[in-house]
Amino acid sequence: MIEQITELKNSWMASHITDAEFPTPLSEKGLNLYQSRLKQLSTQFLSTIPSNSDSELTYYRVDCHPLTIRFSMVLASQWEDENEKEAVFEYLTQIMFEDDSPAHLYVGFHKGKPAACGMIYLQETEQGLCTLVSDVMALPLPNKANLMQMMENHLLALADQDSQFFVTQK
């Protein structure tokens, strides 16, 4: 189940470039960089959900292009090389949503500015609804780890309302 939901999420992310009629070379490079980074991550099944304590973030579900831009900016911040960061940003800004999309992107704002991001990917399985929480990232701020934990906890709390199984990718 873990491999299946991870593969489906990765295919969904790639489809914004692979299914595009005229993808830009920069967005194709960004997709390759994103996929290379995925190989460094591990995926784990969660048996319990951490409590969602007080958060310094205000959360917004990405439902318009300006929020897609902010999500992309935060997620691309993990690349240190400016050319790579630009390519990943170009790729991520190509994400398009449909009402029945299995993916839900979120941006967390700290003191009025985008500071963290993450994704919930939902997949119905024979055992029930499974949720993958992935692409959790925060800007390189002194409280980066704390911001990432707040974002992950928020996404898991949202998922806990509907899902029977939870998977994280870090």
What domains can you pick out in the chain, each with its CATH number?
Answer: 2-169 (3.40.630.30)
140 Cβ neighbours under 8 A, 6+ residues apart: 77
What tens digit of pLDDT does each residue of 81-110 get?
999 999 999 999 999 878 789 999 999 999
Distances (CA, A) of 54 to 88, 93, 147: 32, 30, 12
By the 8 A CB rule, do 79 and 40 touch?
no
User: What amino acid is encoded at 143 in this protein?
Assistant: N
Confidence (pTM): 0.93
79 or 42, which is more confident? 79
